[in-house]
Amino acid sequence: MTRPTSEMVDKEIKALTARLSVLQRREDDFARVVEDMVRLQNSIRAEREASSSQLTELESQKQPVNWLPSELLTEIFLIRAEDESADLAVGLPYNPAPVLISHVCRKWRELALATWRLWSFISYRTPRWKARPLFVFLERSGNSPIIFNFIASPASPSSNQDIPALEEEERTTSERIIDALKPQSHRVRSFTFECGFAKSMEEVLKAISQPYRQFYKLESLDLALSTLDPTFEGTHLLTYDALSVGSPGDEAGVLKHLRLQQMPLIVVPSYLVRTIRTLELSYPPKKSQSTRRHHFALKMSHLIQLLRHAPQLHELSMIGVTPVWDVVAKVSMDGQLSQSTIEPRHPKVVSSFELPQLTRLEWKCAYHRDIFPFMSLVVLPELERWDLLVAQCPAKRYDVTQFRGNHIHDQDSFIRAEPLSTVLTLHALKELNFSCQNEESLGYSLRQFIFPSLTKLDITFVGQHLRKEAALPSLSRLESIFRDPRLPLLTHLTISNFDIMAVHGRTMLGYMPNLLSLTLGACTGVDVVLDALAEAYGIAKRPGVYPRSCGVRVCPRLEELMLWNCIDFDFKMLWSTVYTRSVALDDDSEPDHDIFEAEAIASAVLGRTIRPLKKIRNTRSQQCGDTGPHAASGSSKSTLIPIEEALRPSRITCVQIEDCPQISEHEALSLERRGTVVMYR
């Protein structure tokens, strides 16, 4: 084979070089084309994504919720996150509301993550420890104030569950929760801790009672034991007195609300109690009234000690508070204490004290023997509203220490001490809501009180499930309920679930000359009340004038009548009541003003001339009457109705009828012809 010459090799190299140059140019051209295509593809993709996003945005505009601005959406989110009433949160170590909101759409997620307050509502509803959800919420809440709720399930395990293991698990979880919150304790504003075992609560009390006061900005504190009659074995809660910790000169906290459920009353430190405005004490009734070892027994001395440390208290709510009376009132007898203070078991001698700012008192499931002794010990000069539910006393007493009350004449009483006074006057009280499980407790509970300024009265019977008879209990005479039955300032009266006897109805209304609103609910004897309201003052007989009935005898200012679930009255009686209190006007004539002159009608009714009495000037002794809390005198205002008001009663402007099947809607609406607004349901 002939070897190629150098000229031939150079020629081939030159040809291949030229070919490679052409191929490189073509490759570069293709690369530019591909790059342009990729760029075009990316541009088309971006345009498609923008169009798709715009389409989604336009589609979302069809939903009215997306019309709301972000600020309003944030407020709605906060309301939803704060409400934990839904069952969705049960058993979860976090508040599900912010999580669900952040998973709805991209806009809502961005808005949720940017709102620190949304993650500050921290909920932990399981006794098992799970750290990640708690720390995520603490991180996302930023620097916003924290509202923390720990609610463990009630400790009612089945037979195959280990009680000590559950107790230890809950205690460990409580301890770790407190450790996680300590670095953020300055941000905690509200703290709710509800557990089933007392050992878990001990960890919380240790934290809030620290000398350095880590939770010094706490505004609301709720401590509750969910187990009925829990045991405190293995804890120091029954003997620990946190109210005595610290001197009166220490700086007070900012706590405004305190709630204790089945907790000893003296476990909260004094620096927190001194500033509370609302106090709620809850103790569900026990199956047995006897006190067992390592179980809590509410003592009156502890209740008094707690209230003495709360001078700024505005509202007090006591549910199921039936304390053991381990105190006696300090009564002076010739400069010495009463001999009743020297009793077995060494009761404590206490004096009355004042809560100057308390305006509302709620006491549910109280025993009637506890009411007057407690109210005698606590002076309430500004009390305006009193909600009282009197429970039926247990028929059997299990322990001598459970005898209630402070009654010198009661031989069954454990402590027979001199009462502070026989009568207590609540000068500022304007609204009284009284409920009872036994009709006899009406007189037992209120006979030692006088209410000179009462404007609203609600009397309800709630013990129908305890009665053997199917009929409603009879409402006692007002003279048997109150020491002074005269209620000259009363404007609103509500009676529910009572039988109003024929003799008592008219007499009761006669003590209420300024009554504006009357409500009768699920009562019998309503016809008696309507008959009293329809009774005319008399019949005027004048020469040349047709004899006619005029005026009313009771409640001339009544304007509103509400009847619900009352079935023993007919429409005729209701019509008569409305008609009697309306001025009869002809369609085409004006009323004869001379007929409506008060003195003329009174003279015609009584058959003699009526002259007005001279006004009596108040004496100095009347002006300087006793206004103390134990003043025995009642109101100086008379319950007599002036003739002018009796003869010119106010028109009943509103009648509400609900669940009264004997009254048809057509009949009820016919009252509107008398100028009355009718609401029929």
pLDDT per residue as tens digits for the range 12-71: 888 889 888 988 999 999 999 999 999 999 999 999 999 888 887 787 777 777 778 888
Q: Which of 74-83, 514-523, 608-617 has the highest mean pLDDT?
A: 514-523
> Is 50 exceeded by the pLDDT of residue 80?
yes
Higher pLDDT, 552 or 621: 552
The confidence score (pLDDT) of residue 339 equals 34
- Supply 662's token pair: 């004997």
Q: Domain with 464 in it: what CATH number? A: 3.80.10
Mean pLDDT of 299-314: 92
Q: What is the pLDDT confidence band of residue 331, given thresholds at 50, 70 and 90?
A: low
Q: What is the spatial distance between Cα 76 and Cα 164, in angstroms, rounded to a whole number?
A: 43
The domain containing residue 659 runs over which residues?
Answer: 455-585+643-680
In a domain, 405, yes or no: no
Q: What burial letters (b/e) apply to 653-681, b meaning 16+ CB within 10 Å?
A: eebbbeebeebeeebbeebeebebebebe
| Residues counted in the chain | 681
Whether the Cβ atoms of residue 232 and residue 295 lie closer than 8 Å to each other? yes
Mean pLDDT of 387-398: 74
In a domain, 537, yes or no: yes
Whether the Cβ atoms of residue 534 and residue 554 lie closer than 8 Å to each other? no
In a domain, 287, yes or no: no
The confidence score (pLDDT) of residue 546 equals 57
DSSP designation for 23? H
- Supply 208's token pair: 């809030």
List the one residue out of 161, 151, 158 whose CA is nearest residue 200.
Answer: 151
Of 47, 67, 87, which residue constitutes the final position of a domain? 67
Q: How many CA atoms lie within 13 A of 332 on its CB side?
A: 4
Which residues are 499's β-sheet partners? 474, 524
List the one residue out of 232, 222, 208, 79 whose CA is nearest residue 151.
Answer: 222
Q: What is the pLDDT confidence band of residue 147, given thresholds at 50, 70 and 90?
A: very high
Beta carbons within 8 Å of 473's beta carbon, 6+ residues apart: 439, 461, 467, 497, 498, 499
Q: What is the spatial distance between Cα 635 and Cα 452, in angstroms, rounded to a whole number?
A: 5
The confidence score (pLDDT) of residue 609 equals 53
Mean pLDDT of 598-602: 53
Q: What is the pLDDT confidence band of residue 398, given thresholds at 50, 70 and 90?
A: very low
- Number of domains forming the structure of the chain: 2
Q: What is the pLDDT confidence band of residue 190, given thresholds at 50, 70 and 90?
A: very high
Q: What is the spatial distance between Cα 84 and Cα 125, in angstroms, rounded to a whole number?
A: 10
Least confident of 250-254, 291-295, 418-422, 636-640: 418-422
Q: What is the pLDDT confidence band of residue 387, given thresholds at 50, 70 and 90?
A: very high
Q: How many CA atoms lie within 13 A of 323 on its CB side?
A: 20
In a domain, 502, yes or no: yes
In a domain, 561, yes or no: yes
Q: What is the spatial distance between Cα 194 and Cα 261, in angstroms, rounded to a whole number?
A: 9
Higher pLDDT, 122 or 465: 122
Phi, then psi, of 177 in degrees rounded to 5: -65, -45
pLDDT by residue (tens digit) across 95-115? 888 999 899 888 889 899 999
Helices (H), ranges, 360-484? 368-377, 441-446, 478-481
Least confident of 305-309, 340-344, 617-621, 634-638: 340-344
Q: What is the spatial distance between Cα 620 and Cα 176, in angstroms, rounded to a whole number?
A: 70
In a domain, 474, yes or no: yes
In a domain, 438, yes or no: no
The confidence score (pLDDT) of residue 200 equals 87
Beta carbons within 8 Å of 60's beta carbon, 6+ residues apart: 66, 105
Mean pLDDT of 139-146: 91
Q: What burial letters (b/e) apply to 280-307, b meaning 16+ CB within 10 Å?
A: bbbbeebeeeebeeebbbbbbbbbbbbb
Mean pLDDT of 622-632: 49
- C-alpha distances (whole Å) from 280 to each of 269, 307, 319 are 16, 12, 8
Helices (H), ranges, 587-677? 598-606, 620-623, 643-647, 665-669
Q: What is the spatial distance between Cα 155 and Cα 226, in angstroms, rounded to a whole number?
A: 7
Whether the Cβ atoms of residue 148 and residue 201 lie closer than 8 Å to each other? no
In a domain, 43, yes or no: yes
Q: What angle do CA 596, 602, 604 make, to 5 degrees?
A: 90
Mean pLDDT of 437-454: 89
Q: What is the spatial distance between Cα 147 and Cα 508, in angstroms, rounded to a whole number?
A: 50
The confidence score (pLDDT) of residue 631 equals 53
The confidence score (pLDDT) of residue 620 equals 45
Q: What is the spatial distance between Cα 123 and Cα 95, in angstroms, rounded to a whole number?
A: 5
